[in-house]
Amino acid sequence: MACAYWRPMDTFTSHSPTETESLGEQWGRLLPGGCVIGLSGDLGAGKTQLVRGLARGLGINERIHSPTFALVMIHNGGRLTLNHLDLYRLDTQEQIVGAGLSEFLAPPAACITVVEWMERWVGPRPARYRHVRMEIAAEMERLIEYEDAGV
Ligand SMILES: Nc1ncnc2c1ncn2[C@@H]1O[C@H](COP(=O)(O)OP(=O)(O)OP(=O)(O)O)[C@@H](O)[C@H]1O
Ligand SMILES: [Mg+2]
């Protein structure tokens, strides 16, 4: 899906949920505080699976689910606090602006923010931003394109 924030840099083909999680885990170990990762891709593309890896790489042990209804889940206990957002249920610009999520799009140095369904975001591209585009290529195969080598 087209996304205004998209600037391609690198590609990874994942052949299993575990491989997707491992990619996220590598990023979670390296990512600097204060950055925002935007994920785009269809239902079941593996966004949440990647976030599970990110959380593990950050040293967070809590269970990770799509925060589809909560809109945001905050996970502590790791190297950095992980703000996990999901914009799937926000249809209109008013809903997106009115949800009060913009503070999470400019996280402090002790946090990182990851956003599922970032293509729905209507605000400006966040500072210190990396976009990740995930595509279902086959039942177990996911094409993962990302900016800035993930770090
Ligand atoms: N290579 C793969 N990488 C990630 N997930 C895979 C892969 N192959 C199969 N899957 C399956 O695809 C599904 C991905 O689900 P996940 O919840 O991560 O998707 P999502 O992009 O977050 O979807 P949603 O938009 O509904 O939140 C899981 O059921 C997982 O087992
Ligand atoms: Mg999800």
Which tens digits make up the pLDDT trace of 63-116?
999 888 789 999 999 999 999 999 998 888 788 778 888 899 999 999 999 999
User: Would you state the pLDDT for residue 1?
Assistant: 45
Helices 17-30, 47-58: crossing angle, 10 deg rounding: 40
| Residue 126 confidence (pLDDT) | 92
Phi, psi values for residue 99, rounded to 5°:
-75, -10
Model confidence at 5, in pLDDT bands (50, 70, 90)?
Answer: low
Confidence of residue 6 (pLDDT cuts 50, 70, 90): low
Least confident of 57-61, 72-76, 98-102, 143-147: 98-102
Structure tokens at 94: 């008013």
The finding on whether 49 has its CB within 6 A of some atom of ligand 1 is yes
In short, whether 97's Cβ falls inside 6 Å of ligand 1 is no
Q: Residue 79 has what pLDDT?
A: 97
Average pLDDT over residues 138-146: 97
pTM attached to this predicted model = 0.92
Q: Assign 121 a pLDDT band (cuts: 50, 70, 90).
A: confident
Q: What is the distance in A from the centroid of ligand 2 to the CA of 75?
A: 16
Q: What angle do CA 73, 5, 112 make, to 5 degrees?
A: 30
Q: In angstroms, what is the span from residue 103 Cα to ligand 1's centroid? A: 27
Residue 101 near residue 71 (C-beta atoms within 8 A): yes
Please tell me the predicted confidence (pLDDT) of residue 151.
44
Ligand 1 binding pocket includes 16 (Cβ within 6 Å)? yes
Residue 35 main-chain phi, psi, to 5 deg: -100, 165
